[in-house]
Amino acid sequence: MTVAYEVRETNGAEARFVWDYGATDERLRALYERGKTAQWNAAVDIAWDAGVGVPGQADPAGARSPFGWSASCPVPREEWGAFQWEFHSWMTSQFLHGEQGALLATSRLVTMAPDLDTKMFAASQVTDEARHVEAYARYVDLLGNSYAVNPSLKRMLDTVVAESRWDIVFLGMQIIVEGLALAAFRFEHTRSFDPVIAQLTQLVARDEARHVAFGLLALQEIYGELTSHERADREEFVKEAALLMSRRFRLEEVWARLDVDVAAGTNYALQDQKMIDFRRLMFTKIVTSLAKVGLLTAGVRTHLEQLELLRTLPPRGRAL
């Protein structure tokens, strides 16, 4: 078997042993318990042969995009069906790549986290992420139409898996990447044009909600005690991450696959109100999570406004 892989150097993160096995954080331990009882099996708990990706006869006409066609779209109306198929294939491919990032990042958290409860929950999350990779890989394979990892998502994942400060691994993965994934999975579930992706995203979203809750629990505590310099560092990280995560929705690879002028397609993605609304929807969970950990500061809020990622503005003066 030939295995293609890519090596990323990490920045010398420390492995931490914890010798006090008695001290527990009850909230983290309860989340860990929930994680143990909420396991499911991607091989048998999904009705794999019910959707648009029936083996050997995938149905591109069955795909729907989360936004409608607009007159300014560089894809002609009669080819919108082809766009929807490519968008769906691209989106689910990025879910898959993001899940692999989560698998790698979470395994690092087991090693890096400074307390046992965090290590144990992170370990249960590693199992969840392996299942998510399994499920999305199978789904994308059934579609028979896949995309490589988007360059902006790749940069984000590279940053997270190389980071040596464990709280920034948390912030990048549990709050930003998983927050976007949670909004996307819930949205995919409610659209449910394909029973397989509806069922898959519902099961995955349940796990992701636990993972985001884990990130919030871990960060709320320590982010109350940051120095102004440390806080500024985290703010800069959030700004860069938001830029990368919104850039992935320029859809360059989709326009290229459809033989549409990439500059025209990117411009459309940036300007079209339906696509702006879609990106805002994708960022809703990230924004509320940032507010909860005290990182929706005036500077971060202004940055998100400039990127047109804020859907509703939380009252000013909160969580600064």
Q: How far apart are CA 275 and CA 250, in angstroms?
A: 9
State the Cα angle at 298 between 293 and 303, rounded to 5°: 95
Tell me the closest approach of the beta carbon of residue 59 to Fe ion, in angstroms. Answer: 26
Per-residue contact flags (x/-) with Fe ion for residues 54 to 83, judged by CB under 5 A:
------------------------------
Tell me the closest approach of the beta carbon of residue 68 to Fe ion, in angstroms. Answer: 29
Q: Whose structure tokens read 């997270």? A: 160
- Comparing CB distances to Fe ion, the nearer of 178 and 188 is 178
Is the alpha carbon torsion for 29, 33, 38, 41 positive or negative? positive
Per-residue contact flags (x/-) with Fe ion for residues 169 to 188, judged by CB under 5 A:
---------x----------
- Comparing CB distances to Fe ion, the nearer of 189 and 303 is 189
- Residue 228 carries which side chain, given as an amino acid letter? S
Tell me the closest approach of the beta carbon of residue 174 to Fe ion, in angstroms. Answer: 7
Q: How far apart are CA 117 and CA 131, in angstroms?
A: 22
Considering the rule CB under 5 A, would residue 301 count as an interface residue with Fe ion?
no
Binder among 102, 175, 290, 300 for Fe ion (CB under 5 A): 102
Q: Whose structure tokens read 């046992």? A: 116
Residues numbered 125 to 154 that lie near Fe ion (CB under 5 A) are 129, 132
Q: How far apart are CA 307 and CA 276, in angstroms?
A: 9
Q: How far apart are CA 139 and CA 95, in angstroms?
A: 11
Residues 6+ apart with CB under 8 A from 12: 164
Binder among 211, 247, 292, 301 for Fe ion (CB under 5 A): 211
How many residues sit close enough to Fe ion to count as binding (CB under 5 A)? 7
Report yes or no: 96 and 136 within 8 Å, Cβ to Cβ. Answer: yes
Tell me the closest approach of the beta carbon of residue 154 to Fe ion, in angstroms. Answer: 17
- Comparing CB distances to Fe ion, the nearer of 210 and 280 is 210
Q: Which residues form the interface with Fe ion (CB under 5 A)?
A: 99, 102, 129, 132, 178, 208, 211
